Amino acid sequence: MPDLPADLTPTLLRLSARRAQLSTAGTTFYRMVHTTETAGLFALDRAGPVGVLSLYADLSAEQEQRLAAACGETGLESIYLKRRPPEAQHAANVERGRLSPPEPIWGERRPEVVALEDGVPYLIRPSADLSIGLFSDARRARTWVRQHTPPAGRVLNTFAYTCGFGLNAALAGAASVKNLDLSRKVLAWGQENYALSGLNAPDADFLYGDVFEWLRRLGKRGELFELVILDPPSFARSKAGVWRSERNYARLLAQAAAVTAPGGQVLALINHAGVSAAVFERLLGAGAVQAGRAMSFTARFGAGEDYPGAEHLKVRALRLE
């Protein structure tokens, strides 16, 4: 069992102060402390007045309490705990109560809060599951969507989760945004996010079902989009089989290309530390070849500035001719 630093509170205060300017710029949802700054032991996210403490090592109950109390000293009102297993997909289903306790480990109970990102409000549920409604490392990608959505264009947001990308496309003036996910629950959550920004959220814009099946269906209909967003999990099981991003991303890009208008763009994300940027680009290139489309990259980036040294997230914007 690892030891916690003796100067824990001063260290957290110093690290969190480095991100304080985000709050004054209209962002109250961000990573306060990243694992590269804690020797891989823990990370701390801020969601408005609430902190979400992610543990990547086994700590004693006393150590967890001490760490949570130190996090609270940064000005947060409550701290929720997430114990992050190496393989979260299966463990999150069978050990949910232990991995993501529904009650805060420190401070007052705040099961729902509204936090801002670049002035856009999002509904965050710190007590929900290991995933709380938004991924802070994708902030730059959501900003990219806000800045590059074609005016009056059509946007398809696949693996939509709570529809953060779709929301930003709608705010940017897209004529149509379709959000697609395998969970009705998270799509309903996405509609709540739309409502927070005063946007109309008809059920027809929130498509429930398997992404690959929907891509085939949309392709047969001849529907085309000027922007397609791909943000799949790195690993998942479904009725269709096992998805592994390092094996299946080329096929996903090929199917997405079939519904991407000539000259349209695809924003592709992969959250997998074991897949290098070079390998990811080869997968995307292979998918474009399968689709018979010429491809060129228009942007390359990763997680935001509050993720120093992070290499897990790779984001590529590409144009398909």
Amino acid letter, 172: A
Domains of the chain as residue ranges with CATH: 8-120 (3.30.750.80), 136-320 (3.40.50.150)
d(CA 112, CA 162): 14
Backbone angles phi, psi at 135, to 5 degrees: -105, 115
Query: How many Å apart are CA 211 and CA 199, to the nearest integer?
Result: 24
pTM, two decimal places: 0.94
The torsion of the CA quartet 210, 169, 197, 306, rounded to 10 degrees, works out to 90
Q: Which residues are bridge partners to 317 per DSSP? A: 267, 299
**280 in Cβ contact with 249 (< 8 Å):** yes
The pLDDT of residue 230: 98
Calculate the CA dihedral of residues 21, 23, 28, 29 and round it to 10 degrees: -10
- Looking at this protein, which amino acid is placed at residue 163? C
Structure tokens given for 190: 């996405």
2's tokens: 């690892």
pLDDT tens per residue, range 22-47: 887 899 999 999 999 999 999 999 99
Count of other CB atoms within 10 angstroms of residue 40: 12
pLDDT at 87: 59
292: helix, strand or coil: coil
Q: State how far the Cα of 284 lies from the Cα of 298, in Å rounded to an integer.
A: 13
The pLDDT tens digits for 291-306 are: 999 999 999 999 988 8
Q: Phi/psi of residue 35, each to 5°?
A: -60, -30
Q: What is the mean pLDDT of the chain?
A: 93
Neighbours of 320 (CB within 10 A): 21
Rounded to whole angstroms, the Cα distance separating 289 from 310 reads 30
Report the candidate in 118, 130, 193 with the shortest Cα–Cα distance to residue 160.
193
Q: How many CB atoms lie within 10 A of CB 75?
A: 15
Q: How many CB atoms lie under 10 A from the CB of residue 173? A: 12
Burial of 13 (0-12, 13-18, 19+ CB in 10 A): middle
Q: What stretches in the chain show pLDDT beneath 70?
A: 87-94, 238-240
Which DSSP symbol is given to 206? E
Phi/psi of residue 45, nearest 5 degrees: -105, 145
* pLDDT tens digits, 134-156: 999 999 999 999 999 999 999 99
